[in-house]
Structure 1
Amino acid sequence: MARENMTKDRRAEIVEVTTGLFLDSGFAGTSMSAVARACGITKATLYHHFPGKDDLFAACVTHGYAEALDRVQEIAASDRGPEDKLREAMEVLYDVTICSPVGRMSPLIAEVAQAFPNVARSFHDGYVAPQQALIARIVEDGVARGTFREIDHKLLSHVLMGPIVTLSLSREMFVDFKDLDDHFPIEPLKQGHVEMLLQALRPPG
C-alpha cells in the first residue's frame, strides 16, 4: 500500500509540474526530456508512468478536473435546495474552468484533441460526461420538487457550459490585454449567466 501511494504521489507531482510546462510552452513545445528534467527524474522513469506525451497530457487534464467533480458530487448529494445546489455547482465549474491552471488549458485541449483522439476521449469520459450527469441530477431533483421545469439534458449542458468555456477561451486569447477584466470580467458575467440559467429553468407563471 505504501509503495502504491508513493507511485500515486509521484504521478501527481509529475502531472502538476507538467501542467505548468504545457501552459508555458504549449503541447508541441514541451518535450518529454524537458518534463523529466523539470521533475528531477530520468526519461525512463517518466515513460514508466506515462507511455507517451499524449498520455501525460490526458493525465494533466483529468487530474485537474477530478477535484471539481468531487465537489460537485458533494453538492448534488447535499440536502440544500435545487437553486442553491445549482448556484454552488456553477461556482465550482467557473472556478475550475477559468481560474485554475488546468482550466486555462482549454485552448490546448481543443488543439491536442484533434491530433490525439485518446485525449478527447479521456477528457470526455473522465470529466465532461460525469459532470453532465451530476448537473442533470441536480436539475432532476429540482423538477421533482417543482422548483424547475423539464429541460432537455443536452440543451442544458450547452446552455450551462457554453458561456463558461467561451469566457475561458476569450481570457486566454486576450490574456496580454491590460484591460482584460474590463472586456471579460468573471464575476458579473458569472452572476448574469447563473441568473439567466435559473430563469430558464423556473416553471412559467
Structure 2
Amino acid sequence: MTAQPSEYHRRVAAQKRTSIIEAATEMFLDSGYDGTSLARIAEAAGVSRATLFKRFATKAALFEAIVTEYWKVGEEEAPVPEPGNLRAGLEAIGRRYAALLSQPGMAALFRIVIAEVPRFPELGETQFRLGKMPYFESVRRYLEAENAAGTARLDDAETAATQFLGMISNFVFWPRMLLARWEPDDSAIADAVDQAVLTMLARYGAPEPGGA
C-alpha cells in the first residue's frame, strides 16, 4: 500500500509549486517565453531541476499552470450566484472579476502573451481557453439562469456577458497595460462595478411585479 502524503509534505509541495509559478512568470516577463529555460526557472524558484521537471515537463505545461492559477476562482469561496436577484448576482460577479483583474501578476501575464503570441500563438490560445473563456462561460450561464427565472430579459446571454465584463475590464484592467502608474483605488473600482451593474439592470432587468 502506498502511504498518503502527510499534511507537511502537501504544504511543502504547494509552496514549491507557488515558487515555480512566481519565478516563471517573472522570468517570462523579463526574458520572454522563448528566452527562458526550465533550468533557469528551477534555479530562480530555488528547487531542483528534477523537482520542476517532475511537475512541468515542458514550458507549455508550465504556462498552462500559470494561466489556470491566475484565473482560478474557488467555488467554495466565491460560488456562482443563485438566480433570483439580478442586482446582487451582478454585484458579486463584478466584484470578483475586478479582484481577479487587479491581482498582482495578471497584467504581467497578459504582457507575456501579447509580446510572444506572434511567434507562439499557442500562448494566446492557452490564455483564452484556460483563462478567460471558462470565466466568461460561468457568467453567461448565470445570465441565462436569471433569464429563465424571469429576473432578466435578454435574447443573447453571450452578448450581455461580453458587455458586462467589458465595462469592468475597460476601467480596471486595460489602462494598466499602457499606463505604468494606473492603480485605481478600491472606491474607484467599486464605483466602476456599480455603474456596470446599473447599466445592465437598465438594459436587461425585468420589471418588478406590479411595476409600471
Which range, TM-score by smaller chain? 0.7 to 0.9
Partner of 1:67, secondary structure, is coil
Distance 2:114 2:96 in 1: 21
Corresponding residue of 1:202? 205
Identical aligned pairs, as a percentage?
23
**Which residue, 57, 68, 71 being the options, matches 1:62?**
68
Q: Could you list the runs of 5+ residues in structure 1 that have no partner in the other structure?
A: none
Q: Is 1:39 matched up with 2:59?
A: no
Task: Write out per-residue CA displacement over residues 121-166 of structure 1, whole angstroms, 9 at most, x where no aligned residue.
Answer: 4333323332223212321222123221023133123212323443
Query: How far is 1:52 from its partner?
Result: 2.9
Which residue matches 2:193? Answer: 190
Deviation at residue 23 of structure 1 after TM alignment: 5.0
Residue type matched to 1:172 in 2? M
> Partner residue of 2:133?
129
Name segments (4+ residues, structure 1) moved above 6 Å: none
1:87 CA displacement: 1.0
Question: Hey, what's the Cα distance between the residues in 2 that align with 1:157 and 1:123?
Answer: 18
Conserved 8 A contact 1:33-1:43 = yes
1:18 offset after TM fit, Å? 2.7
| Cα deviation, residue 7, structure 1 | 4.8
Is the 8 Å Cα contact of residues 152 and 205 (structure 2) preserved in structure 1? yes
Q: Which has the larger radius of gyration?
A: 2
Change (3 A) 1:106 1:200: farther
Corresponding residue for residue 56 of structure 2: 50
In the other structure, the counterpart of 1:173 is: 178
Q: SS in structure 2 opposite 1:41? A: coil
Read off the aligned partner of 1:174 and give its amino acid letter: L
TM-score by length of 2: 0.73
| Per-residue deviation, residues 105-133 of structure 1 (Å, max 9, x unmatched) | 22333333443344334333323332223
Conserved? CA contact 1:21–1:35, under 8 Å: yes
Higher helix residue share: 1
Alpha-carbon separation, structure 2, partners of 1:65 and 1:120: 14
**What amino acid does structure 1 have at the position aligned with 2:145?**
D
